[in-house]
Amino acid sequence: MATVSPPQNPESDPRVKAVFDDIRRTRGTDFINNFWRYLAFDPALLEQVWTDVRDVMAKPTLLDAKTKEMIYIAVSIANSCDYCIHSHTASARAQGMSDAEHAELLRIVSTAARTNHLVNGMKVPVDEAFDSDA
């Protein structure tokens, strides 16, 4: 169950409308997903989060869009964010992620989680060769 209620008519607030219009323009669709609709309960927070997401995920950077989405999936799995897993899997598929790439991503995530837990449980010291301070 949600902890906040989305505004009934979010675009009546000019700040929200401006963000929603930018989302539509940036993504090339009229669809505004629930995350943004619920975040519109606080227009300032909506603006801040959209700016960060847009600048990292939608603007060209050194990483291609599919890779960014796949990283987002991995982090969302690690953080147990069901909503983000679903939305970014859909986005990665739209960017061309195949079933085979998705399966490989899941293998990497599960292998990393397992070895992370083992290393944390054993408190293995970092090798000097891996320590950037060395």
In this predicted model, what pLDDT tens digit does every residue of 16-34 receive, in sequence order? Answer: 999 999 999 999 999 999 9
Within a 10 A sphere around the Cβ of 108, how many other Cβ atoms? 12
Residue 11's pLDDT is 98
Measured in whole angstroms, the distance separating CA 109 from the mean position of its chain's CA atoms is: 15
Q: Are 13 and 43 in contact (CB under 8 A)?
A: yes
Q: Delimit the domains of the chain by residue range.
A: 10-59, 62-123
Average pLDDT, the chain: 96
Confidence (pTM):
0.91
Please report the pLDDT score of residue 132 as a whole number: 80
In CATH, which of 3.60.10.10, 1.20.1290.10, 3.40.640.10, 3.20.20.140 is domain 62-123?
1.20.1290.10
Query: Under CATH, which architecture does the 10-59 domain have?
Result: Up-down Bundle (1.20)
| Residue 134 clears pLDDT 70, i.e. is over it | no
Provide the residue type at 23 as one letter.
I
Give the pLDDT score at 113: 97
Give the tokens for residue 51.
């700016």
Structure tokens at 98: 């195949």
Residue 57, amino acid: M
